[in-house]
Structure 1
Amino acid sequence: MNAPAHPLNRFLAAAKPSATYQVMDRVAARRAAGGTVISLSAGEPDFDTPAHVREAGIAAIRAGHTRYTQVAGLRALREAIAAKFQNENGLPVRWQDTLVASGGKQIIFNALAATLNEGDEVIVPAPYWVSYPEIVQLCGARAVTVPCNAASGFKLSPDRLQAAITPRTRWLILNSPSNPSGAVYSRAELLALAEVLRAHPQVLVLADDIYEHLIFDGAAFFTLAQVEPRLRDRVLTMNGVSKAYAMTGWRIGFGTGPGWLVEAMEKLQGQQTSGASTISQHAALAALTGPQDFIAQSRAVFQRRRDAVVAALNQAPGLQCQVPQGAFYAFASCEGLMGSTTPAGTLLGSDEDVVNALLDEAGVATVHGSAFGLSPYIRLAYALDDASLHAACQSIQAFCRSLSR
């Protein structure tokens, strides 16, 4: 690619494109060329948005709700969001303490852009969602990644948190359930982290709870501001409707936190995108206030798929996968494949080599763990129908058996 005639913003120039979307682009190109690919790369439910939510969006269009809303969102939706935080998470939230944005990613971006200055640091436990360090970079700050391996359940420990904090630390990002590992922090684990954070009042916490409703085996969900009320004045709790209600394309995220932060985020959003789509806001209102049976039904399906996919991966020579506690991803170690050669003659020296070979030689799209800050792993999204998942797992097993070691 040729250098631009005019220089880019230096923070943008240093940022990396999303690895997930790069894989999705490769899948689209192969399919356009007539190739067959089973994609386990996209992080979105394969279910349709619930019917009553879709109908609410259609009704909003017919009723003429197609104009701007307030920057922070429709009051009715913000009231429903406040009620959600109160009823489901035990947080004493007023509607004025909430903000609606065009997706959860915008909530995160707003918060970091509103508070970070050059030289600031953000602690990001690895493995992490691919966008966290890049958003930090775009805001002119530095992401301090803390490796959390399989032995720790892919979770940040109090000792590692303490060691990572410096006078420049401005934020800690906590994602539970986690993308990509599916790790879930228990109440006790959050309290242990909170004990460290209480000694460092300069550190804000971003609790990314977007997979809140996708926790398996009957386990309970907890969020940091819930278990340690003394930290509420510096915790931003982020959520949305994309994963719980299969509404990824509707682009509605929301958050709550201290008033000064919500006000700053609203100010930034007012100069950036203004309010989220009015139609999508009406649909999100129907999701939060209408029947909730979809959540339990989809969770049961995802748990069944998890069990099948993890079992299949652990039967593939060279792969090893812990059982994820939540979300809809399997994060499998491919260390046992390193140094192998594929039938096409490709030497596997990294997890990215494995991902490329799986796509090129087995027709299965995954994402390399190094994009999430921990390698050698591959991430597979089991948000796909059972037949496609079964076929993908069979192809992965056959690929692993075909390698020369």
Structure 2
Amino acid sequence: MSADPYGFDTLAIHAGQDPDPRTGAVVPPIYQTSTYAQDAVGSPRLGYEYSRSGNPTRDALQECLAAIEGGRRGLAFASGLAAEDTLLRTVCRPGDHVVIPGDAYGGTYRLFAKVAENWGLAWTAVPLDDLDAVRAAFRPGHTRMIWAETPTNPLLNVCDIAALAQLAHEYDAMLAVDNTFASPYLQQPLTLGADVVIHSTTKYLGGHSDVVGGALVTATDGLGDELAFHQNAMGGVNGPFDAWLTLRGIKTLGVRMDRHCDNAERIAAYLGSHRAVSEVLYPGLESHPGHETAAKQMKRYGGMISFRAAGGPEQAVAICNKTKLFVLAESLGGVESLIEHPGQMTHLSAAGSALEVPADLVRLSVGIETLDDLLADLAQALG
């Protein structure tokens, strides 16, 4: 279906998901197959030969991803990091340079520092909300990409996507935006000038903590074709059942995100007035340094909150251990609320580096449970 005349929720439910022409099934089938019969040598039916190269269930997901991000080409992967690695190896060469956030996700930092650096890719971490710092980090002729997260994981910093796109293009570089925290429902970086969007579809897109996946969505067909070649050549694709689960999650993304935001806004306000909390990091608060930028480029402010424990690292760990409804677990974006200590969990890989997160930091993924129950759980954990 064409994306032009339809709203977000309609695209989430219908894009790439027409009823099955053979049976009329409203939900696209799971094509759980590795290979496909061919009518003659060199004549595959509908272009399908082998499921690493193409699968109808994954194609449905990819079409839907492109539609809801306002992009030209969507590509689905086995994980968010598989998507990131494919992007880097497609766009960059040994000797190239990338500017990354000064508080990048721990897995992204590990990919740059422990993997990409070994095959000759240089990188510089700077606060992306400081355009002067970003410009100063550029190495003309070598910087191929600005790699942005907004909001960032876990410090919830916000950068100006349109301004970064303009700066990147001034140097013939590319802007890639990790849109996992915001989701396409709240923010569409491609419409603001980004060249490619990255997702861990494990998070809000899947939405139920039962599938791992990743995605890239491009602003142009050319980059999409290059990435599709490497997607097949490198092989980090997701399976058909994973693709189907992600599609199922996307159908309710809009209504889930509204509830995530409703709950998070109230919880952020509550935490901001609690004596056990020294600082709340949430773009929806007017006190947040990136609030105006977030208001400009986001529909709402998302379901992720971080805060710093007034009693220091020991209290932060104790709070994480005391919650009952907030499950102590890594990941985010599911219907259930999660709590974690980034310094010892999701961002342990950055320990000892310039990207190390504060030891008193607690991160919440606010779910869609009854708000009063979540508030009561936090109250007893905070003491």
TM range (shorter): 0.5 to 0.7
SS at match of 1:379: strand
Q: Tell me which residue corresponds to 1:210.
A: 180
Distance (whole Å) between structure 1 residues aligned to residue 342 and residue 201 of structure 2: 27
Matched, 1:136 2:115: no
Instruction: Tell me: CA distance 1:145–1:210, structure 2 relative to 1, closer, same or farther (3 Å).
Output: same
Q: Tell me which residue corresponds to 1:316.
A: 275
Matched, 1:393 2:378: yes
Q: Tell me which residue corresponds to 1:226.
A: 191
Q: Of 36, 52, 59, which residue of structure 2 is paired with 1:71?
A: 52
Structure 2 spans left out of the alignment, 5+ residues: 1-12, 18-24, 36-49, 285-300, 329-338
Deviations 1:173-211 (A, max 9, x none): 1223443244555xxx3222222112211x332222234
Distance (whole Å) between structure 2 residues aligned to residue 126 and residue 241 of structure 1: 23
Q: Tell me which residue corresponds to 2:242.
A: 280
Instruction: Tell me: CA distance 1:136–1:354, structure 2 relative to 1, closer, same or farther (3 Å).
Output: farther
Instruction: Tell me: CA distance 1:199–1:300, structure 2 relative to 1, closer, same or farther (3 Å).
Output: closer
Deviations 1:209-264 (A, max 9, x none): 2344476xxxx6231x3233xx6xxx222246441341543334322335565455
Amino acid at match of 2:379: Q
Please list, as runs of the form range in 1=range in 2, the aligned pairs for 1:321-360 lying within 5 A after superposition: 321-325=280-284, 326-334=301-309, 336-337=310-311, 348=312, 351=313, 353-359=314-320
CA apart distance, 1:330: 0.9
Distance (whole Å) between structure 2 residues aligned to residue 133 and residue 255 of structure 1: 18
Q: Of 381, 385, 396, which residue of structure 1 is paired with 2:365?
A: 381
Structure 1 spans left out of the alignment, 5+ residues: 1-49, 148-154, 338-347, 399-405
Instruction: Tell me: CA distance 1:119–1:332, structure 2 relative to 1, closer, same or farther (3 Å).
Output: farther
Indicate conservation of the 8 Å contact 1:328/1:381, yes or no: yes
Q: Of 238, 247, 258, which residue of structure 2 is paired with 1:300?
A: 258
Please list, as runs of the form range in 1=range in 2, the aligned pairs for 1:148-227 lying within 5 A after superposition: 156-167=129-140, 168-182=142-156, 189-201=160-172, 203-213=173-183, 221-223=187-189, 225-227=190-192
How large is the Cα RMSD of the aligned pairs?
Answer: 3.8
TM-score normalised by length of structure 1: 0.60
Instruction: Tell me: CA distance 1:316–1:120, structure 2 relative to 1, closer, same or farther (3 Å).
Output: farther
**Identical aligned residues as a percent:** 14
Amino acid at match of 1:139: A
Matched, 1:124 2:100: yes
Instruction: Tell me: CA distance 1:57–1:277, structure 2 relative to 1, closer, same or farther (3 Å).
Output: farther
Instruction: Tell me: CA distance 1:144–1:384, structure 2 relative to 1, closer, same or farther (3 Å).
Output: farther
Distance (whole Å) between structure 2 residues aligned to residue 198 and residue 76 of structure 1: 35
CA apart distance, 1:134: 0.8
Instruction: Tell me: CA distance 1:78–1:207, structure 2 relative to 1, closer, same or farther (3 Å).
Output: farther
Amino acid at match of 1:255: L
SS at match of 1:383: coil
Q: Give the helix-richer structure, 1 or 2.
A: 1
Equivalent residues, number: 299
Instruction: Tell me: CA distance 1:90–1:100, structure 2 relative to 1, closer, same or farther (3 Å).
Output: closer
Distance (whole Å) between structure 2 residues aligned to residue 250 and residue 369 of structure 1: 25
Please list, as runs of the form range in 1=range in 2, the aligned pairs for 1:26-105 lying within 5 A after superposition: 60=29, 65-68=32-35, 69-74=50-55, 77-78=58-59, 81-82=62-63, 84-86=65-67, 88-91=68-71, 93=72, 97-105=73-81
SS at match of 1:303: helix
Amino acid at match of 1:65: Q
CA apart distance, 1:306: 0.8
